[in-house]
Structure 1
Amino acid sequence: MADRTPVALAADALSEGGSPLLTYYDEATGERVELTAPELGRWAARSASLLRDGCGLGPGSRVAVLLPPHWRTAAVLIGAWSVGMAVSFRPRATAGLPVLEPGGDRPYDAVFVTPERLDDWLEDVPEGVHRYLVGTGPGPLADVPVGWLDWSSEVLRHTDTPPDYTAVRPWDPASPDGTSYGAWRRLATEIAEQLDLRAGDRLLVDAAEHEQPLKWLLAPLAAGASVVICANLAPARRDARIAAEQPTRVL
């Protein structure tokens, strides 16, 4: 339907059981995580609860997610979307991170960043902003700076009861620049069509080449496809990874 939002697409996808919805593989470490729809849904629900109940945030709150393609990134994004937050995927384009969006007059209410990108944020996030480090390896982080929290530890303190996915409306702002949830849904559908993604497809994504969640997360959700995220995918290993994962589409 034309009025479907990314939240509704996620809710549909997360209601399906059985085969993996999202697979994450790191060529550098050999880590492989495979999540069914209900498993990803529980992580997303905990993320929503962390933002809503732990941070006191809700519809219209501004969230910056400076994270690479990863199963934890999917959980953070779906969690933020499910409670109607305005999410910025890449709040900076060059060195020197602005706390405000261009033309904005409010700081972010929450920030999610990897330890590798922490230096961009360490001195630039004002007091009162909820700050989370999201590791891309297994387990909790061993070293977290003062003023920041480890997402993987904090999220487990919260319930995995699914939020009310129907509460987000197509005209609600999905990003700080005012782009609506309905517009995101249309973009995701267009990208899925450009990629010729269909229900049941398995999309393999090179994480280093495609950080935009519209491509590696929302487009597959819109098409009813599953996704395999490959981090640190060396060109010499690409064919071997494709043979091992057996995708129907490669991005």
Structure 2
Amino acid sequence: MGNTVPSLFAAVVGKDPSLPFLTFYDDATGERTELSGATLANWVSKTANLLVDGCGLGPGDVAAVRLPAHWQTAAILLGAWTAGLSVAYGEPTAAGADVEFASLAVAERDAEIGAAGNASGVADRYVLGLAPMGLPMRGSVPTGWADYVAEVRQFGDHYPGPVGGEGTGELIERARALALPGGRLLVDADTHPDPVQWLVGPLAAGASIVLSVNSDPEKLAARAAAEQAVPI
């Protein structure tokens, strides 16, 4: 069994990279985005390369992630853990948030990161519009920030390693305590907003994910049946 989140992800995807790994539904917009294991792995590698080659970060450094449950959030979290970074996670609506967009701030080793993503020693800040199809942000990018999607596309689809993630053992312990079933899981992020619940938990169970946000409760049962997924 994997001892790091990246190794859990690699184990699930490695069974058949062409199969759907994460299917994302947003009932507020009608969006449905499906990513195979191979496609999400490319986003993960690009993110890790951005953090390591673009930002000069590595094991012991910190990523402050202020993002809601989303497929891009999965790519960023897995990319940060793959690069060996520690993650300080919070939802973007947390009190004191310094921008109105979902965001990722990366900081040098031993930086102190506050609830809003402010940090001593911050080197790079990236903002996400979370647009469908992984499109860049619409409109202007806030001063002092870069568009994550526009920047990450410049980096390679393969991360040469070494793969980090040694600091994710505590997350895996919490995830395994959930005792989720394997197979394919439907997760309503409105009731399970913690990434341990909607991302690490399914990985620890060896499961693929159907992630639903802004969920219409009347659609969940039919969605689970259509996706052949077990709701949790």
Is the 8 Å Cα contact of residues 68 and 91 (structure 2) preserved in structure 1?
Answer: no
Structure 1 residue matching 2:158: 3-state secondary structure = coil
Match of 2:156? 159
Aligned residues: 217
Is the 8 Å Cα contact of residues 91 and 97 (structure 1) preserved in structure 2?
Answer: no
Q: Name the CA distance, whole Å, in 1 between partners of 2:151 and 2:82.
A: 19
Q: Aligned-pair RMSD on alpha carbons?
A: 2.7
Q: Which amino acid aligns with 1:168?
A: G
5+ residue gaps, structure 2: 99-109
Q: Name the CA distance, whole Å, in 2 between partners of 1:91 and 1:25.
A: 18
Within the alignment, does 1:206 sit opposite 2:174 as a pair? Answer: no
Match of 2:136? 140
Is the 8 Å Cα contact of residues 6 and 78 (structure 2) preserved in structure 1?
Answer: yes
Q: Which amino acid aligns with 1:7?
A: P
Q: Name the CA distance, whole Å, in 2 between partners of 1:137 and 1:240.
A: 25
Structure 2 residue matching 1:157: 3-state secondary structure = coil
Is the 8 Å Cα contact of residues 67 and 92 (structure 2) preserved in structure 1?
Answer: no
**TM-score normalised to the size of structure 1?**
0.77
Q: Name the CA distance, whole Å, in 1 between partners of 2:13 and 2:124.
A: 27
Q: Name the CA distance, whole Å, in 2 between partners of 1:211 and 1:11.
A: 23
**1:65-92: CA deviation from partner (whole Å, max 9, x where unpaired):** 1111111011101100011111012289
Structure 2 residue matching 1:89: 3-state secondary structure = strand
1 or 2, which has the higher strand percentage? 2
Q: Which amino acid aligns with 2:88?
A: S
Match of 1:189? 176
Match among 203, 215, 220 for residue 233 of structure 1? 215
Match of 1:116? none
Within the alignment, does 1:8 sit opposite 2:7 as a pair? Answer: yes
Q: Name the CA distance, whole Å, in 2 between partners of 1:128 and 1:227.
A: 33
Match of 1:73? 73
Within the alignment, does 1:49 sit opposite 2:49 as a pair? Answer: yes
Q: Which amino acid aligns with 2:112?
A: P
Q: Which amino acid aligns with 1:214?
A: V
**TM-score normalised to the size of structure 2?**
0.83
5+ residue gaps, structure 1: 99-104, 112-119, 175-180
The structure-2 alpha-carbon separation of the partners of 1:92 and 1:227, relative to structure 1 and needing over 3 Å to count, comes to closer
Is the 8 Å Cα contact of residues 49 and 159 (structure 1) preserved in structure 2?
Answer: yes
Structure 2 residue matching 1:69: 3-state secondary structure = coil
Match among 143, 146, 157 for residue 149 of structure 1? 146
